[in-house]
A = this chain, B = another copy of it.
Amino acid sequence: MHEHLKFKYYTKLRNMAKELTKRDENYSQWYNDLVVKADLAENSAVRGSMVIKPYGYAIWEKIQGQLDKMFKETGHVNAYFPLFIPKSFFSKEASHVEGFAKECAIVTHYRLINAENGKGVVVDETAKLEEELIVRPTSETIIWNSYKNWIQSYRDLPILINQWANVVRWEMRTRLFLRTAEFLWQEGHTAHATKEEAQDEAMKMLNVYVDFVENYLAIPSIKGDKTENERFAGALNTYTFESMMQDGKALQAGTSHFLGQNFAKAFDVKFTSKEGKEEYVWATSWGVTTRLIGALIMAHSDDNGLVLPPKIAPIHVVIVPIYNKEEQLRKISEKVTEIKRKIESKGYTVKYDGRDTYKPGWKFAEHELKGVPVRLAIGPRDLENGTVEVARRDTLQKSTHTSENIDEVIDKLLNEIQENIYKKALDFRDKNTYHVDSWEEFQDIMNNKGGFVMAHWDGTTETELKIKEETKATIRCIPFDAKPETGKCIYSGKPSKQRVLFAIAY
Contacts and interface: CB of A to CB of B under 8 A. Distances in A.
Nearest to A172: B110
Given A87-B121, A88-B120, A106 B112 contact: yes
A342 to B, nearest CB: 22
B113 A102 contact: yes
A109 interface: yes
Interface in A50-103: 50-54, 57-58, 60-61, 77-91, 97, 101-103
Contacts of A250: none
B77 A58 contact: yes
Interface residues of A, number: 64
A65 B491 CA distance: 54
A170 interface: yes
Contact of A120 (B58, B80, B91): B91
A42 B143 CA distance: 13
Kindly name the residue among A78, A82, A87 whose own CB sees the greatest number of chain B CB atoms within 10 A. Answer: A82
Contacts of A85: 46
A78 B61 contact: yes
A104 B111 contact: yes
Given A77-B54, A108-B108, A121 B90 contact: yes
A436 interface: no
A135 interface: yes
How many copies of this chain? 2
A371 to B, nearest CB: 17
A157 to B, nearest CB: 13
Given A44-B82, A78-B57, A106 B123 contact: yes
A107 interface: yes
Contacts of A120: 87-88, 91
Given A77-B58, A102-B111, A82 B50 contact: yes
A343 B135 CA distance: 44
A81 B123 contact: no
A135 to B, nearest CB: 7
A155 interface: yes
A260 to B, nearest CB: 23
Contact of A90 (B84, B112, B119): B112
A212 B54 CA distance: 24
Given A78-B58, A107-B106, A111-B104, A83 B44 contact: no
Nearest to A45: B145
A168 interface: yes
Contact of A166 (B83, B89, B155, B170): B83
Contacts of A84: 46, 49, 105, 182
A46 B82 contact: yes
A311 to B, nearest CB: 20
Most B CB contacts (10 A, CB to CB) among A80, A83, A146 go to A80
19 contacts: A45-B142, A46-B86, A51-B80, A51-B82, A57-B78, A57-B80, A82-B182, A101-B121, A102-B112, A102-B113, A102-B121, A103-B111, A104-B112, A105-B107, A105-B133, A106-B108, A108-B123, A110-B170, A166-B166
